[in-house]
Chains A and B, each alone.
Chain A
Amino acid sequence: MTELFSLWAESLPQLLLATLTVTIPLSALAFVLALIVAVIATAMRMGRVKPLQWLSRFYVWLFRGTPILVQLFIIFYGLPAIGITLSAWVSAIIAFTLNTGAYAAETLRASVQSIPRGQIEAAKTLNYTGWQTLRHVIAPQALRIALPPLGNDLIDLVKGTSLVMVITLADVFQVGRQIAATTFQPLALYMEVALIYLIIFTVLSWIQGRAEKVSNRYVRSTNA
């Protein structure tokens, strides 16, 4: 038992370093960029310009319909064949941004579409402009609906970053693998890695819960 604890204590600094330098910044940056991509894709999809609608649908179709692992391989190993060579970091950010962005775009579209027509009509009768309707009526209500599924997208993204080892990035999982290989203690190491993911998940879930509470303040709770 003490052996196990000393192994954990010895490996923890390296694992935390990998978490703080790869797993968390990659997830955070890709998620922020994915939200921007999702907003643009949703605007294109729900706008009136047909070619932009098609482009948006094609994007979501492509990135939801292929595994993230394949996307990583195409970007990192495939693109150099046509002269586009990207670093592992840039490849990872592009792949996770576009992948998560496709899921988030679907989330946003469904949220906007779930807003009752009467809300839009009320904005019309008050003579709101399109922008005012979006800003004061659609966006705040859609965001409340989108929050739980977007939280899930983020959690999926964090766990998904464990795939970046295949394009040479040393994230928490890859570092755990290396230590497991040299100490011959795979069970202990992989459990430690799992625990780190669980801690990140727990923190994110807590933040998600708080955010939902704030965004639900105007909805009468069913158990009140």
Chain B
Amino acid sequence: MLELKNVSKAFGDNQVLQDASLTVRDGETTVILGPSGSGKSTLLRFMNLLEFPETGSLSINDDAVTFGGRLTDAQIRSVRKHSAMVFQGYNLFPNQTVVDNVSLPPVLNGKLSKAQARERAQEVLDRVGMGDRLDEYPDNLSGGQQQRVAIARALAVDPDYLLFDEPTSALDPELAADVTRVMVDLASEGRSLVVVTHNIEFARQVAKRVIFLADGSVGFDGTPEEFFASDSERIQRYLSTYGTA
């Protein structure tokens, strides 16, 4: 289980999150929705310690940190190892081929030998439909292909939680569909996904759980059925803005 408790964060005068708490359960897909600037990405980035709240705490499985003081590298890395992020901008390493991007991380983490990592890379790249592009450099791939390699790279380190930060926002609809298909596939086999997205349809069809952020805190936490049937004015307004996009 992943649990964020009472986290707050301000950027300058802008209080992005105020005392927000949420839990992510294992083996299901949690989708975080909310208008732009509601702190969705920030909340997701807390889970992987790419950003730090000013207060609150995070516990993932048997590791936990309390925010506010200085954390050691060892503390950060022990929490971080439980999750891996797929970024909106892919962030593949341009100086490494597809297979190196995917096979190097588990080797550097000391989890797999080079040969095992290579085998695992082939396996996860096959899963995302990129198994025949091993020696290509990222620059020669389309955005959708790069994003699928990025998903394979995250899978290669075998995290307990896969975090997606608007993974299809930078993609044309056709390429986005290829990426979404991979995510649906991962969700259906019981992986724990946490997805920040504006893709309402994805929330409707794939999510087991929807968390809605508004005005710096969790405004809704429940099933997609409950969410889409909600008569909250805030949620209705959100759906009418983003639901038709």
Contacts and interface: CB of A to CB of B under 8 A. Distances in A.
Nearest to A143: B95
The A interface is mostly helix, strand or loop, or mixed, namely helix
Contacts of A137: 93, 95
B33 interface: no
Interface residues of B, number: 31
A197 interface: no
Given A136-B108, A220-B139, A220-B140, A126 B91 contact: no
A118 B89 contact: yes
Contacts of B80: 124-125, 127
Contacts of B91: 116, 118-119, 121-122
Contact of B87 (A118, A129, A140): A118
A141 B95 contact: yes
B118 interface: no
Interface string B218-244: 000000000000000000000000000
B95 A218 contact: yes
Contacts of B50: 121, 124-125
A177 interface: no
Nearest to B138: A218
Interface string B76-113: 01001101110101011111110000001100110000
B243 to A, nearest CB: 30
A39 to B, nearest CB: 19
A101 to B, nearest CB: 26
Contacts of A119: 91, 93
A128 B105 contact: yes
Nearest to B141: A220
Nearest to A131: B108
A125 B84 contact: yes
Interface in A131-146: 132, 136-137, 140-141, 144
Contact of A125 (B85, B93, B96): B85
A212 to B, nearest CB: 14
A126 B92 CA distance: 11
Given A125-B84, A218-B95, 5 more contacts: A116-B91, A125-B85, A126-B109, A141-B93, A218-B96
Interface of B: 48-50, 73, 77, 80-81, 83-85, 87, 89, 91-97, 104-105, 108-109, 137-140, 153-154, 157, 163
